[in-house]
Structure 1
Amino acid sequence: MSAPVTPAPDFALTGSIGKLKRAKVPQRMRNVELVLLIVACGINVGSLVLVQLGVLGVVDGGPLAICGLLTVLVLAIHVAMRFVAPQADALILPVATVLNGLGIAEIYRIDLALGNEGWDALANKQIAWTALALGAAFATIVLIRHQRVLQRYTYIFGLVAVILLILPMIPGLGIEVNGARVWIQIGTLTFQPGEIAKIALAIFFAGYLVQRRESLSMVGKSFLGMRFPRGRDLGPILVVWAMSMAVIVFQRDLGTGLLYFGLFLVMLYVATGRGSWVILGLSLVGLGAVLANQFLDYVHGRFANWYDAFNPENFNGYGGSYQLVQGLFGLAHGGVIGTGLGEGLPEVTPVAQSDYIIASLGEELGLAGIFAILCLYLLLVGRGLRIGFAGHDDFSKLLAVGLSFTIALQCFIVIGGVMRVIPLTGLTTPFLAAGGSSLVANWMIAALLLRLSDSLRNEPRLVVG
């Protein structure tokens, strides 16, 4: 009986001479992407028009023309992919585009309500950052031709991540915004290096876990039917936990600390397949939560605002639950179908353009709109996980899963906090919220997922013809 042969769409071994022939790469996926991009850009333009009609009663062509330039940049990425990544996933770019466009429309709507104009308008800054983010995505796709190039520099990416995390603590460079010291300022430009650090950490974790997978997954003692690691193998998870706690303590950024540790824990589980790591990781999270709630006033305040938000003492106190309650009222005001773009009152919620943009969109688009946005995120994360499961090497699998989970966990932390499922942490909603560093990082993540999807489909496999 002959052994089964794995089919391969890319290469074939034909005839007795055994020559490899490269199959023609179809452009069908890129054509599907183009159609979806046209739909996405149409939704974005329609959102701006509805905002202008709702607030101004007339259509202003200026903002529409500026967003038209962003459409050109998105189409430039599409054209570049036809040459350098023809088999990349067809859904990631359109989904990221429509999320980014909806965010710009809602930020513009809040600017109109607050009377912000010129460079004081966050919408104008968001458009400028979007152009920069699209440029970074374009460069990522063009310059990185294969993901295995990243694996060569595993420890360099780890060092870069550490440096990026330390930068906000340097006197004269780091600045404090809303109680958190996670920003750096160079001239008039402010940037959050931790957003780029999460990409560097994902690459470092993927490379490191590939090297240490056997010792982390095979060795250990069994207890209650589950194999637990040796004490000497607990070093990596303890180091990452300590790093995450340092971010919470010294930078006063609860959300980023949770994001880093959650990213490592998920990648560790995927690399080893051992549920004991999840139990240990969740135990460390619980221990960290108890310690932070006990010794850090700002963390204790967020827990108090979460479980007793409508208490007058919390509602009226400094840094209290006023923002959380206003966001909940806004979501309730939106109902099922929303008030309509430009017809609500999202500006009454503090920081409605960034931390609470989900509440702003929920008020004007309603439950139906929030459900559609969550479906877009689910589609984006699902495509990323699909890329990871289809990977032919461990590094590609871990990197795709890590990048996808970064978006998923960030959405859960932010949206869960706004909807009072978990305590509010202060992260930004990917692609939607005002924030240039977050926008650049998330577009780079989308570009890396596109590069991974193309590279994985181009892996050579042989068949007997």
Structure 2
Amino acid sequence: MSVVTQTSPRSGRLPEAVLLGLALFSGLSAYCLVHLGVGESGLPPSFPQIFLVTVLTTAGAHIAVRRFAPYADPVFFPAALALNGLGLAMIYRVDIAEETDHASNQLLLSFVAIALMVGTVIVLRNHRTLRRFTWTSLIAGIVLLLLPMVPGLGRTINGARIWINIGMSFQPAELAKICFAVFFAGYLVTERDNLSLAGPKFLGIRWPKARHFIPILAAWAACMAVLVMEKDFGTAILFFGLFVGMLYVATERVSWIAIGGLLAALGVAVIVSQVSHVQARFTVWLHALDPDVYDSAHGSFQLVQGLFGMASGGLFGTGLGQGYPNKVYAASSDFIIASFAEEIGLIGLLALLCIYLIIVVRGLRTAVVLRDGFGKLLVTGIAFTVAIQCFVVVGGVTRLIPLTGLAMPFLAHGGSALMTNWIIIGLLLRISDSARRPATADPLPSDDFLKTIPELEKDSSSNKNDALETQVVKL
């Protein structure tokens, strides 16, 4: 007769340490390869200092995660660190080609961003406390979106008014996406029955009642308003796609995808016919290789140069440090994907995108394991945010969709996007710690507030959460 011995689940911190070592190795190796690829010999002059500081920072962050979120998923932190390190190497490469110095500033911002990730893990001891701030998050998100429109504070860069000046250029919409994810999760976990079951049936589709449909129309109108006022096509796609995706997961109704697609198509069609800036983006997208469009003042020169760079990379690339990123517009920011494709090729670029895929899949896996509806929707929304942003950026550079002004998470030069995405990693670590924490472990703090929530909404074993779990698995 065999005896079954119950063992406590592994925390995953040792695998995280090993993966962090590999992530550091990939980033530092890319940095050295760039230095050698441009014709220099030996190690970069600042390599010992950078090596020491990055190792100490990574070790400190790992210890903090081990202390405050011991059961967190061991993949999120290393995957983000690998992307961040490779992005720094490419920014350094572009600096050499263009004789600029953006890499040092980006490196400093990376340390600040990792500190923000650690701060998120430490301060947010229980992700369910965010549900208290459902409507506060909505107000904060709207305020952040409108900040660039404030005279004297907002700045117009490259035709889009999406920046504010606070001693440095900052893009408030990056933080707004976290606020809206929290609001959507809190709103949908309360209203999912009304959105999925109530309302008349027409043409085989269950339509919601008018009072429940108003928030959807408000989200659509807000996205279109952002597109018109700030000329920010990428942010409008991101927010509306986030809301429709979370609606589908919460209600398990394909009709919401149809409704969302119809509203998006209608809004874009009207705005393209009325707003010249958006109309120009579509003209560039559809007629990029037309000589008249290519040579016009705001034509397709930037896009086509990026396509030429990617084509010259082929399958395996020219090698780090041996391409011509200086011939591509915004090679370290908007078109950093084209820079990577030229020097590491299609195979290397696909491997890079697989790291993003790992983050998204592990996020959805965390949603499956979680037993509270709010947490399921929140982590699903965060994973959708990363996925949609990658699709919008890569799709624009490769001419799959019109070009937008979003930044590739962790790779592109820019402080606001970098810090916001590291905060997202902090949220993923905190939520995954809750999902993987065994029943015999110490309970999460701040659970008392759940007593104020109706039993139907907080019961972790309710059929509604089981249905939501099933829907996430289907994804």
Report the TM-score, using the length of structure 1 for normalisation: 0.91
Decide whether the 8 Å contact of 2:34 with 2:320 is kept in 1: yes
What is the Cα deviation at residue 131 of structure 1? Answer: 1.2
**Which residue number corresponds to residue 175 of structure 1?**
155
Q: Which residue of 2 aligns with 1:3?
A: none
**Aligned pair partner of 1:46 in 29, 34, 37:** 29
Query: Which deviations, in whole Å up to 9, do the C-alpha atoms of 1:261-303 show, x marking residues without a partner?
Result: 1111111111111111111110011011101210111111111
State whether residues 310 and 321 of structure 1, in contact with CA within 8 Å, keep that contact through their aligned partners in structure 2: yes
Which segment drifts farther, 75-84 or 407-416?
Answer: 75-84
CA displacement, residues 415-453 of structure 1 (integer Å, 9 cap, x when unaligned): 011011111111100110011000011111111011101
Deviations 1:349-374 (A, max 9, x none): 11111000000000000011111011
How many angstroms apart in 2 are the aligned matches of 1:80 and 1:249?
A: 43
The answer to whether structure 1 residue 95 and structure 2 residue 95 are counterparts is no
Of 409, 425, 431, the match for 2:388: 409
Q: For structure 1, which segment, 44-53 or 154-163, has the greater mean C-alpha deviation from structure 2 after superposition?
A: 154-163
CA distance in 2, matches of 1:75, 1:287: 50
Mapped to 2, the partners of 1:50 and 1:90 lie a distance apart of 28
Asked if 1:200 is matched to 2:179, the reply is yes
Distance 1:255 1:64 in 2: 39
**Equivalent residue of 1:152, what SS?**
helix
| Match of residue 95, structure 2, among 105, 108, 111 | 111
Q: Please give the residue correspondences for 1:55-454 in structure 2 after superposition, counting only pairs within 5 Å.
A: 55-58=38-41, 59-63=43-47, 65-66=49-50, 68-116=52-100, 121-187=101-167, 189-454=168-433
How far off is 1:68 after superposition?
A: 3.9
Give % identity: 47
How many angstroms does 1:178 deviate by?
A: 0.8
Aligned equivalent of 2:436: 457
CA distance in 2, matches of 1:460, 1:274: 33
Mean Cα deviation higher: 75-84 or 56-65: 56-65
Deviation at 1:25, TM superposition (A): 5.7
Q: Does the CA-based 8 Å contact 1:45-1:64 persist in structure 2?
A: no
What CA deviation, in whole Å up to 9, does each residue of 1:228-266 have, x standing for no partner? 212332101110111111111111100001101111111
User: Does the alignment pair 1:31 with 2:14?
Assistant: yes
Distance 1:61 1:94 in 2: 26
| Aligned-pair CA distance for 1:31 | 0.3
- Deviation digits for residues 43-78 of structure 1, max 9, x if unmatched? 111000000011141222315523542332222121
- Per-residue deviation at 1:210? 1.1
Opposite residue 289 of structure 1, the aligned amino acid is V
What residue identity is the alignment partner of 1:205?
F
For 1:57, the aligned partner's letter is E
Please, what is the CA RMSD of the aligned residues? 1.6
Distance change (3 Å), C-alpha of 1:458 and 1:357 = same
Counterpart amino acid of residue 148 in structure 2: P
Show structure 1 runs of 5+ residues with no match.
1-8, 10-22
Stretches of structure 2 that go unaligned for 5 or more consecutive residues are 1-5, 442-475
Question: What do the CA deviations read for 1:378-433 (whole angstroms, capped 9, x no partner)?
Answer: 11110011111211011000000000000000000000110111111111001100
Measured in 2, the distance between the counterparts of 1:269 and 1:459 equals: 30
In 1, distance between residues paired with 2:60 and 2:391?
32
Contact 1:400-1:449 at 8 Å conserved across structures:
yes
| One-letter amino acid matched to 1:91 | V
Cα distance in structure 2, aligned partners of 1:405 and 1:214: 22
Tell me, in whole angstroms, the C-alpha distance in 2 between the residues paired with 1:370 and 1:172. 40
Letter in 1 for 2:97: A
TM-score w.r.t. the length of structure 2 is 0.89
Find the counterpart in structure 1 of residue 446 from structure 2: none
CA distance in 2, matches of 1:185, 1:128: 19
SS in 2 for 1:181: strand
State the distance in 2 between where 1:159 and 1:459 align.
36
